[in-house]
Chains A and B, each alone.
Chain A
């Protein structure tokens, strides 16, 4: 089944070891961005190379892998990454969140609650939460070292002053275990509460930016906010047109030339199970 020309899960064992060390360091220091010697992968930077390297480094032959992009198993890049691991590792794959031992994701956390037997691997484009306030890595590393996050608080405050609320709808910054401010990757802020106190191991891989970070199980993750402007997870004010769920995150789909729309679950597995009545 697997491609014999390459090592199990593509990466050579030395590289996996190097990545595992970075992951362990990340788990030991939750929310801290660990530099690692990211490899050039056979898919482009920005298309999940960080997530793929992390997944490859922790994968075992017994794992059951689920890959999602935008919550769906059948989006093109999720298909491509799943195929990559089928080919190079020959592991079993699934679309069921509850059956997976490893889930690699881009932009969503599954609706089905994760368990302590699972690892969730995020693909991260820009790991640095302060990047668009301060483009220099030398400076942002200093900011993290000193927990000098005033710049971020000011930005959030300015949003409120200008728009009446914090105008960040995805990649909403969080504080991890009372210490590091972390970018949760571009998940919608609707998903932020799922980061907190999660029984699963959450690993974040940014290939191009050469950073790995992690949330050990049951880590306290707080979305940044103010006492008088508490964080709120938001979603479209509709129910899913397919399964009827009123609590899952929805995609808006344009259905005709006249601008007709419908709202459907972004998490395709959750939607299918819910429609069957078995979620």
Chain B
């Protein structure tokens, strides 16, 4: 007997009620507090803020809770919220040289003014499950070492020392106002500012894969981590009524500057080139990947050869790096396609029967 596909509305309501119950889990366990997510799942929170393009740890924690820990779903919630917010202006560019760093490493110099600061990192941890965390999760009793609270002295960028000697390409300030890809349709080819904007909110996994591909020879660009720094920076905004900029808040960012293969010719002295990554929060895998992909995308401007590598192809990278676009379109194939499939069925049946349109006409 034919049962029509009726009752979609009731099915949707019931499915969502089920989702609410499964999110809550067993009711004899305490409910997860968004403050706990914010403070104890900090790296998930920063990923959601970075790819959601909205710096708000509380909302990111809420999104993670609502999404049952599915970070792409959480990013989607944040994006959908962000798009409704009014834009009342743009900040002046943040000054990352004035960052209050909690982590700062350079792989190119053993030491540099400001020093190397490991900060809270997984690097050099042994990846052994720590069963104490399962038992009680209490902190070790050793007190923090002296000097862990970094004093807010300005820490100059490592690459500025290379720049002083002309060994690396100059990163001259560009006063052109950057386009906003959330307010204008992306036009290709995109300039570097727009590319960086897209990469900054791009999927960490996608950028990781692309960056990795450059390391394995698909448009290799010999990246050294000139500097990776994480810390708090002030956000300042020009207030027209005041006539000067005031600080409106602080955000945590990760900045990565790479020193890449040099270029040069008979007429131009050899010089290192740069890749750049900047992301919200402590998201260093993302910032590193972004810097490598940024550098790969600069092949044309630097007069390099088009190797046909995916990471060099800005249309490929920019059209596919957004995980909210990608996941939506991927998952839409779950929606009904009865009509198109029916059309295909008829076509295939007709082709298999060896009937052309003309023969069918005659029949």
Contact = CB atoms under 8 A, between A and B. Distances in A.
Secondary structure type dominating chain B contacts? helix
A167 B148 CA distance: 69
A137 B79 CA distance: 25
B185 A38 contact: yes
Nearest to B351: A163
Contacts of A71: 339
A216 interface: no
Contact of A266 (B2, B6, B338, B361): B338
B67 to A, nearest CB: 13
A155 interface: no
B187 A35 contact: yes
Interface residues of A, number: 65
Contact of B84 (A6, A77, A78, A255): A6
A264 B2 contact: yes
Contact of A45 (B186, B324, B356): B324
A26 interface: no
B346 A47 contact: no
Given A164-B356, A210-B185, A234-B346, A138 B340 contact: no
A76 B346 contact: no
Nearest to A262: B2
Given A125-B332, A264-B2, A74 B7 contact: yes
Interface of B: 1-2, 4-9, 11-12, 76, 79-80, 82-84, 86, 182-189, 315, 319, 324-325, 327-332, 335-340, 342-347, 350-351, 354, 356-357, 361
Given A37-B182, A262-B2, 18 more contacts: A6-B84, A35-B185, A40-B82, A42-B80, A44-B324, A44-B328, A44-B332, A47-B335, A70-B337, A74-B7, A75-B5, A79-B12, A80-B12, A136-B315, A167-B351, A169-B347, A232-B357, A252-B345
19 contacts: A44-B331, A47-B332, A49-B328, A83-B9, A125-B329, A137-B188, A137-B315, A163-B351, A169-B343, A170-B339, A170-B344, A210-B185, A232-B361, A235-B346, A236-B342, A251-B338, A252-B342, A262-B2, A268-B4
